[in-house]
Amino acid sequence: MAGSILPLLLIFALLVAGCSQSDSGKTAQTGAPSTAAGKSGPAQGTAIELTPSPEGFPLGLATSQGFALQLFDSPSANQGFKKFPPETGFKRHFDEFTLAGKTHLVITEESTPARFYFDENRNGDLTDDRPPAEGEKPGLLPNHYSIQILYQDEKVVAPYRFWIFGSNMGGARFYPACHWHGTLTVNGTPYKVVAFDGNSDGDYSNDPVVIDVNRNEKAEDEEKLLPGAGITIEGTQVTLVSISRSGLTVRFKE
């Protein structure tokens, strides 16, 4: 698997900007657009490419907590680790982290700064991915980390920044600390469009897309659209056709 994915990752590594506080540039996309289910299909409606932001909770949107890590002190045989990063002398934890329907191996390290090794290409080798994400604050938890997720069906790597914290239910949980935004123009008037991973699963295609029609910087219920739903803007009916799993592309039709 690594042989087929590594050339793709090398290309995207040059094109993709990280979802961090210092850089929130666009990612690159190739191949066919995605449907609401995240699978390639015939293009419908008008595509709008969204831009990543390292800020969470846009337009006052809320999120549920997602399960992240168990923080095991040693890897188990059934986790699938094949190759480990060189030892640094700091305590490590070994986990699986499911995002966008895919399970990734993770090593968290209690170094200074704390490190988050993420098996982006899912081949069990944690030495052939990007350098580990570093915590934005001291300590392993709680902290912000920024990773890149490979959405293989879209042939795109997209940034994902999240806040991870210890839970009184055991292990660690997280919620997204980033979103995607863009502009929909209707009858010459621009409206803000926002995609946010409200259910904390790394998949934007199963979350509502918000059009801030009344421009009050708040997500009203009638402005939250799932694929197939529509809203009237200045007398024009606008329907959400799809949102890609990555959050990069949203499609509307009038």
* 41 occurs within a structural domain: no
3-state helix, strand, coil in the chain (%, to 5): 10, 40, 50
- Which of 176, 208, 227 represents a domain boundary (last residue)? 176
Using one digit for the tens of pLDDT, what is the confidence trace for 30-74? 233 333 333 444 568 999 999 999 999 999 999 999 999 999 999
**Residue type at 42 in one-letter notation:** P
* Of the candidates 174, 237, 248, 163, the residue with the CA atom closest to the CA atom of residue 209: 248
29 shares a domain with 78: yes
How many angstroms separate the Cα of 87 from the Cα of each of 109, 146, 239? 10, 22, 52
Classify residue 242: in a domain, yes or no: yes
Q: Are residues 57 and 146 in the same domain?
A: yes
- Total structural domains within the chain: 2
- Find the helix or strand (DSSP H, E) in which 8 lies: helix 2-15
Query: Does residue 43 belong to any structural domain of this protein?
Result: no
- Per-residue pLDDT band for 169 (boundaries 50, 70, 90) equals confident
Whole-prediction pTM: 0.83
Tell me if 156 sits within 8 A of 28, measured CB to CB: yes
Structure tokens, 221: 């219920």
47 part of a folded domain: no
Report how far apart, in Å, the C-alpha atoms of 156 and of each of 29, 122, 135, 151, 233 are: 5, 15, 24, 5, 32
Strand partners, 99: 102
Expressed as residue numbers, the domain containing 238 is: 180-253
DSSP at 119: -
**Tens-place pLDDT, residues 7-36:** 433 333 433 344 433 343 334 332 333 333
Domain boundary among 125, 159, 176: 176
45 in a domain, yes or no? no
